[in-house]
Amino acid sequence: MLRPEDIGNTRLGSCSAMQGARPAEAGVSGIRSRGTARTQLHIEQLECVAEEALIRKKLGGMRDIVSMKFDLLRRMLIVEHEVEALGTILAGLRSLGFEPRLAPEPGAPDRVSICLLGGACAVAIASQAASWFDAQTSTIVVLALSAVAASGLTMYRAGLLALCRGHFTIEALMSIAVTGALLIGEWPEAAMISVCFAIAEWVEKNSLRRARNATAALLKALPARAAVLQAGGAWRDCAVNDIAAGEIVRVKAGECIPFDGEVVRGRSSVNQSPITGESRPVAKGKGDAVFAGTLNETGTLDMLVTGGINESTLARIVHAIEEAQLCQAPTQMLLERVVRTWLPAVLIGALGVALLPPLALDDGWLASIHQALVLLVIACPCALVISTPVTIVSGLARAARHGIVVKGGAFLERGRRLCWLALDKSGTLTHGTPVQTAFELLDAGFEQSIVRAFAASLAGRSPHPASRAIAQAARNEHIPRFAVSRFGSVRGRGVFGFIGGRRYWLGNLRLMAEIGHDSGDLRRRVEAQECAARTVVIFASDSGVLALFAVADTLRPMSRDAVARLRAIGVRTAVLTGDNPHLARAVAKQAGIDRAEGGLLPEDKLRVIETLGRGAPVGMVGDGTKDAPAFARADITFAMNAMDTDAAFDTADVALMDDDLCKLPAFIRLSKAMHATLLQNIALAVGIKAVCIGLTLGGHGSMWLAVFADTGASLIVIGNGLRLLRTRLP
């Protein structure tokens, strides 16, 4: 059973610190770097932060340990260490009284445990039936004690360890309740408490397993073997673990693609829904990227493997979700504080119910103690504890299935509060691949072909999308390029270089103003193009402006729809771009965006984000590298097309795995749905217990009512939380 101390106490630091590493595996996860391994240890006694503190104190000074992470929900210690230090780590844990063992592969529940729990349940029912039919006391006692022994020994041990260390845990309260029932001769009720607690614990563990494995199961769908091209041209069937980057693998129609790679032969349609959440097939041909876990639907593809099976985009997604599930969310932290106070209050209240009536009112001791035990079980906060992690883990898994990788429950919970969403223009609202649409020669002393050749020579050295469009247009028309010497760039303005001993400039109007080539006529020409949603690139020499290039980047088809959906749920939008203000306003008008800011350097984008964020949470969609200052200031950051860019996947709080902007309102709707579910679960847990406590204090309480208030309420909130796995996202 989850403990209140378990809620969110994972001490991970940054939740995205391990992005890009291999997915967590059972036991020793393999070599992480030379001489270093990552090991997952299951420690049954790892109940709360007190045990975590003991382990940190014991192992923290070992030089062979690189890092330690605690997953208290699963009672796991994840330690990165020098390979030869594993024996020393295990010995250190055993010296503390713990029993560490290599974590098993997550999968189906242990059948032995299920059979034992089923047997205990049957014996407990038999004990209750024997009591109803006035069977011999010895029969009732034997049946009850057998049920307690089969289902409650783990609980007793955990409760005893907690009490010895001065901790009030759920196991401690339930152990007291079972012991009290045995002492006053309520044998069937003791068995019932023990068995129902064990059933609730089993359901909770398996519900969390289901939610956690909702995404990880995709890795298990990968094929175990694949056909690999041999040196002589033949194809050989090999285990995927034996296939390395650089080899050629054949994937036939209907087969799952086992690796990330690049198509070298063949054409087909590929279903990329495990990565992007979009089930429409994507045409793939020579030179196109393909991803592990996607389904080749129609033709045969020969692909060049670009990474091992544990280095794929799918593996990185699964690992990111596993790390996210360990991160604290605000509601978890709040419940942790509440329940830590609740537990001792419950125990004190039960003692008062047991002692005050006999001492003050001369009531019977057995009746008062029985009522106290009923209240103890009713008030046990199991349902409240489990309500949050199941809901958050389900929400994270549902988002990942939709192609939205959220790096922590805190970001998913925070999404519902966004008031502003700032979007970069190129590659976000637009396709990000502008094309040259016009050319205007301004100096009649130069031939058009020479000017275009010189400009293309400079543009070919620049990474800016507008420059690439100019260079591509020149290549398409077979315009030659010249050697450029002493090439340089002016941040946010353009580039320059020497061709044939003369210096030339290629950039925006701001650059022309800085080199003294600004004029009213030039501004009018530029503004006319910008008002038509075109970017103007100016080519000049030291003596004057030579030509203008007009470049256009078309709006994505879904941009207007996405902005309309955001407005419908109360989120305002702003476009932030380094392009000129006229172009920013034109794009904003086309997409229906509320605010447009153009001509921005990275530090200017930070200023706008700070302005938008005054009193209102703000998110940002863009490039976490180029826009690092603004990304750091935004409350939530989003990366588009993250499966194509490792840097975007690693730096953003939320990674959208394709270029579908409609995933932004879907993320916010899921955040709202998760928050509503959290409130429902808290209200259900507290409400059921409040009603049952009132009935008990009014003289209508029974142990069956207590079981419903505890186990029944837990099952209700678990089922409600798991509904998020089936939530429909628009």
Cite the active site residues: 424
Largest CA distance in the chain: 116
Kind and range of the H or E run holding 489: strand 485-490
Whether 590 and 504 have beta carbons less than 8 Å apart is answered as no
In SS3 terms, 497-533 reads as: EEECCEEEEEECHHHHHHCCCCCHHHHHHHHHHHCCC
Report yes or no: 293 and 219 within 8 Å, Cβ to Cβ. Answer: yes
Beta bridge partners of 82: 36
Query: How many whole angstroms separate alpha carbon 9 and alpha carbon 4?
Result: 10
Bridging pattern class, strands 248-251 and 420-424: unpaired
299: left (phi over 0), alpha (psi -120 to 50) or beta: beta
Two tokens, residue 70 = 């605690």
Residue 670, Cβ density class (10 Å: 0-12 exposed, 13-18 middle, ≥19 buried): buried
Closest C-alpha among 289, 296, 295 to residue 313: 289
Phi, psi of 555 (to 5 degrees): -70, 140
350 contacts 701 by C-beta, under 8 angstroms: no
Which helix (H) or strand (E) covers residue 546, if one does? strand 544-552
Alpha helices in 579-702 (DSSP H): 581-591, 602-612, 628-633, 646-651, 663-695
